Amino acid sequence: MTLGKTLEIRELESQDEQQAIDAHHLMLCEDFEFLPTWSAAEDWEDYIYRMKAGRRGEHIPEGWVRSALFAAFDEGDLVGRVSVRYEINESLFQVGGHIGYGVVPEYRRRGAAQELCKFGLQELRESGIEHALVTCDSDNIGSKSTIEKCGGLLDAELPEIEVNFGPSKLRFWMPTRLIR
């Protein structure tokens, strides 16, 4: 099964609630937070407001940076998401980077991750950022391949960093210019 001709990548809306929450619960099994900072105790409208405010640089929690969350849809089905961080702090410089993406398991290996990464790079370029830091687990061959296909090169000074939990992280720098 392949993806449709184009993915629709946009901020989450009211009608996306159930699909997004389902994806969140599904990916928690992989230790991946599909909906960063979301809690079942929070009203969905409040959550999407907070995410949109973060893109504008408003209501940013201490220790966080201006960021946005975008979701990818293929013919109405939620297939993945990308977090775009318009600046990075020390923690993000070590392991998080400017872009973080995730694809729902049933849609993997169909090009969605690459489209999400490209979208994130374009979003950063439009914000005046010329080079983006993107990281992935050292054992995540698919993500490493996606990053390389989008122009990522291992950081010459610090290509890999050990973390206190899980596999080490590979660090890549990517130009934000449009790629094919």
Model confidence pLDDT, tens digit, residues 116-148: 999 999 999 999 999 999 999 999 999 999 999
Structural domains in the chain (count):
1
Whether the CA torsion 166, 132, 78, 106 is positive or negative: it is negative
CATH of the domain at 148: 3.40.630.30
Q: Is residue 180 part of a domain?
A: no
Low-confidence residues of the chain, pLDDT below 70?
1-4, 178-180
The amino acid occupying position 95 is V
CA distances from 61 to 24, 32, 92, 127 (A): 21, 20, 15, 21
Query: 63 — alpha (psi -120 to 50), left (phi > 0) or beta?
Result: left
Q: Which domain holds residue 39?
A: 8-175
Instruction: Give the pLDDT score at 178.
Output: 63
Q: Which residues pair with 153 in a beta bridge?
A: 173
- Provide the whole-model pTM: 0.93
Q: Is residue 171 part of a domain?
A: yes
Instruction: Give the pLDDT score at 61.
Output: 85
Q: Is residue 122 part of a domain?
A: yes
Instruction: Give the pLDDT score at 4.
Output: 60
Which residue, 107, 51, 100, 120, is CA-closest to 78? 107
Q: Is residue 2 part of a domain?
A: no
Q: Is residue 103 part of a domain?
A: yes
Whether the CA torsion 35, 9, 64, 50 is positive or negative: it is negative
Q: Is residue 45 part of a domain?
A: yes
Q: Is residue 148 part of a domain?
A: yes
